[in-house]
Amino acid sequence: MDTLTFIVSLLYQYADTIAILVLSAIGLFIIFGMMGVINMAHGEMMMIGAYITSFSYYAGIPTPIAVIFGGLGAGVVGIVLERVIVRRFYGQLLASLVATWGISLILSQGALLVLGPLIKSVPTPFGSAGSDDLTFSYYRLFLFGVAILLIAGVWALFKVTRFGLRARATMQDPGSARALGVDVRQVYALTFGLGAALAGLAGGLFALTSTIGPFYGQNYTPQAFITVVVGGGAELISGLLLSVLSLGAIKTIVTNQVNILLGQVAMLVFALILIRLMPSGISDWVERRRLQSRRG
């Protein structure tokens, strides 16, 4: 393999890793960063999205619409769960962890009992191209494009829309937001539903590349949680980007030079080092440095 082919291959793997980390973590980032809730049922929201995508596809619905249905279905489930269970545990980090873990067990075991261990997978579209030394999956490149669009869309939603303004005000000071006429309960429900919908959308997109079963989301949740913890909650988008770019670089380099297992291990070790140096996450560290430079 010549130098140019090696560089192109490395960039392709990096883009693929970034796409997986962004898609699997962005919904969790919103729920944790905006609401301070550790959603242990994140993987099950992805599972719901994948199931709905598969059922919709085999019912004759076009693949893109089936994936969107997966996201919407998970979002509706998220809103119901927030209204019935999750809202009782705001401000109680450990209690919310236990409650959502219970939801996770109920959903995964329920799917296993009702639907069995596996359902039909959805065919991967687009195909691939390349040479003997290098092959590109068009769908993997498509996922990278979707990841970029989702980052831009979430940034715009929370920065330039009325809902984003109300959501940020609610998360920072719910009492003041309520006094100004904001329906705090509705904002919480919609924000949690948005996080669940993005998890379901990711599950639907990954359903085109993976085997679908009740524990489907568990393939993605560990790296999603690592990405969120490393990014921190001080700033949603910058935390996500800094976490994904750094973790993705380590994983890609080690995977390319050794193998995928050691790539995962290297990413975990690097995450532990970052957490040791920056316990509140990269975005919090950057924000504190920015404030210090202003004061200086």
pLDDT one-digit tens code per residue, 122-168? 998 887 777 666 788 899 999 999 999 999 999 999 999 999 889 88
Average pLDDT, the chain: 90
Does this model's pTM top 0.85? yes
SS3 34: helix
pLDDT at 99: 92
pLDDT band with cut points at 50, 70 and 90 for residue 234 = low
CA separation for the pair 234, 221 (Å, rounded): 21
For the beta carbon of residue 173, count every other beta carbon within 10 angstroms: 12
DSSP assignment of 135-198 equals: EEEHHHHHHHHHHHHHHHHHHHHHHHSHHHHHHHHHHH-HHHHHHTT--HHHHHHHHHHHHHHH
Task: Give 166 or 2, the one with higher predicted confidence.
Answer: 166
Overall size of the chain counted in residues: 296
pLDDT at 283: 86
